Amino acid sequence: MAFDYDLFVIGGGSGGVRAARIAAGEHGAKVALAEQDRMGGTCVIRGCVPKKLMVFASSFRDGLAEARAYGWDASAGGFDWPAFRSRLDAELDRLEAVYRSGLAAAGVTVFDARATVEDAHCVRLATGRSVTARHILIATGGRPFVPEAAARAGVLTSNDIFRLPALPRSVLIVGGGFIACEFACILNGMGVKVTQLYRGGQILRGFDNEARDHVAEHMRAAGIDLRTGCDVASVGTVEAGARVVATDGQEAVFGKVVYATGRVPNTEGLGLEAAGVKLGQRGEVVVDEWSQTAVPSIYAVGDVTDRINLTPVAIREGHAFADTVFGARPVKVDHGLVPTAVFTRPEFGTVGLTEEDARAAGPVEVYATTFRPMRSAFAGRPDRALMKLVVAADTRRVLGCHIVAPEAGEMIQLAAVAIGMGATKEDFDRTVAVHPVMAEELVTLRKPVRSA
């Protein structure tokens, strides 16, 4: 049977764009891609990129205070959100154009429309047109999940923060995951009074416990009213914003309420189940190690598969799919040892096993230190950095590295190379320190603080 395309990609985010570009540009496939919103997807338009730019913007208040301590005659006026936002919008327009021109250069046909799956080889566009393809790739990502009652009260999600016409004076952030914590720190840095409620015992569930405690302590010290073990009991609209009653009985009015209570895969109404594609409990597309679904011609990559929901992982999966299916070069993505950073203040970089998971797997030695980084200590700031290595007692291999410090994301990227190569504690010890930098602590950790 002759198909219109070799590959039809649904979703122009990190995973879909990479798959389309590699399949068409490197392997010569005839490729089309449908995007219902803006090209670039979550990461570029309403995730990693605008968020990181907001992290930068929010860091200058402390930076200016530090500058004064270093002798500069510097003072901050107010933070001009509309001025920042118009530059941010322009940057996102620029990046979207880069994504579009990359697809055009690779010869990918783009449809600016929602697409749904009709059957194993057919996609229907919202324009009414049907298109056939030998392979279909589902790369539709995910979206914020908001409980029904909160949604009825008109609360915001992370998507809305980038589009706020003005910054509120106060905000309530609900949730304890990395997105909730990052926005709490960003808005706090921009001068907004931040309260954060999280129903669990500690923020950043799933990460190393000692690092979670360290981040939480610094967030509180920075002035964020972080209340764990506490949720929203009710939320209602008032003239000044939203009146919220918390489960601890406290009641307050906030300019805005932001729910960052998790994300769900975008599979609703896609026609996947009718086509024979299996979905999991959260609505995620179930795939095998090749990202292939229960229908052999349909694959899925990225957040819609709910494996590890990070941009570099979606990109890897999209690339591996294109190489496997169109490049005759079978590639599986290794989902172990994925490094990541949480852009709180201070930043948190992590790779490998938490101390808790490592202990459950076998005997470990834990090497950790906290110290005042030179730069902030000089400025009289109380911040402390945490550097931690979790080491297998028998093989001496470093199983996990957890860093809470300024620029921890930059540091963990490099530590991940060594740990991925199987570095032992003695390999770290053999490495000569760079002085004076924070990361030298990683190669000068002499004695375990705990072993079990």
> Would you name the residues annotated as active-site residues?
435
d(CA 55, CA 74): 20
Cis bond before residue 346 (omega within 30° of 0): yes
C-alpha R_g of the chain: 24
Measure CA of the first residue to CA of the last residue in the chain; give whole Å: 62
Instruction: Measure the CA–CA gap between 51 and 222, rounded to whole angstroms.
Output: 19
Interacting residue with ligand FAD among 62, 66, 303, 365 (CB under 6 A): 303
Task: Provide CB contacts within 8 A for 246, sequence distance 6+.
Answer: 197, 227, 230, 231, 232, 233, 252
Q: Is 404 in the site for ligand FAD (CB under 6 A)?
A: no
Out of 51, 100, 345, 388, the only residue in the binding site for ligand FAD (CB under 6 A) is 51
The strand pairing partners of 234, in sequence order, are 245
What's the min distance (Å) between Cβ of 371 and ligand FAD? 26
157 binds ligand FAD (CB under 6 A): no
Q: Examine residue 314 and tell whether it contacts ligand FAD (CB under 6 A).
A: yes
Candidates 65-73, 205-213, 287-295, 305-313: pick the segment binding ligand FAD (CB under 6 A). Answer: 305-313
Indicate the SS3 state at residue 60.
helix
Among 209, 297, 309, 324, binds ligand FAD (CB under 6 A): 309
Instruction: Count the neighbouring beta carbons within 10 Å of the beta carbon of residue 377.
Output: 13
**One-letter amino acid of 431:** T
For the chain, how are helix, strand and coil distributed in percent, rounded to 5?
A: 35, 25, 40
C-beta closer to ligand FAD: residue 272 or 392? 272
Give yes or no for a cis peptide into 168 (omega within 30° of 0): no
Q: According to CB under 6 A, which residues from 218 to 277 bind ligand FAD?
A: 266, 270
Instruction: Assess 333 for contact with ligand FAD (CB under 6 A).
Output: no
Number of chain residues interacting with ligand FAD (CB under 6 A) = 34
The two structure tokens encoding residue 79: 């933070």
Binding of ligand FAD at residue 12 (CB under 6 A)? yes
Told to check if 36 binds ligand FAD by CB under 6 A, we report yes
14 versus 170: smaller Cβ distance to ligand FAD:
14
Kindly identify the residues of this chain, within the stretch 158-217, that bind ligand FAD according to CB under 6 A. Answer: 158, 179
> Of residues 13, 346, 352, 373, which one binds ligand FAD by CB under 6 A?
13
Interface residue with ligand FAD among 147, 191, 312, 420 (CB under 6 A) is 312
- Asked if 353 interacts with ligand FAD (CB under 6 A), we say no
Stretch that binds ligand FAD, among 13-21, 56-64, 85-93, 280-288 (CB under 6 A): 13-21
The least distance separating ligand FAD from the CB of residue 34, rounded to whole angstroms, comes to 4
Helix or strand (DSSP H, E) at 19:
helix 14-21
Nearest to 75 by CA among 59, 60, 58: 60
For 294, half-sphere exposure in the C-beta direction (CA atoms, 13 angstrom radius) is: 13
CB of 337 to ligand FAD, least distance (A): 15
Task: Identify the residue among 8, 22, 35, 323 touching ligand FAD (CB under 6 A).
Answer: 35
Dihedral of CA 177/178/183/185: which sign? Answer: positive
> Within 13 A of 246's CA, how many CA atoms are on the CB side?
22
Yes or no: say if 242 and 253 are a contact pair by the CB < 8 Å rule.
yes
Residue among 41, 176, 352, 400 that touches ligand FAD (CB under 6 A): 41
Considering only residues 15, 177, 189, 346, which one is a binding residue for ligand FAD as defined by CB under 6 A? 15
Binding footprint of ligand FAD on the chain (CB under 6 A) = 10-16, 34-37, 41-43, 47-48, 51, 114-115, 139-141, 158, 179, 266, 270, 302-304, 309-312, 314
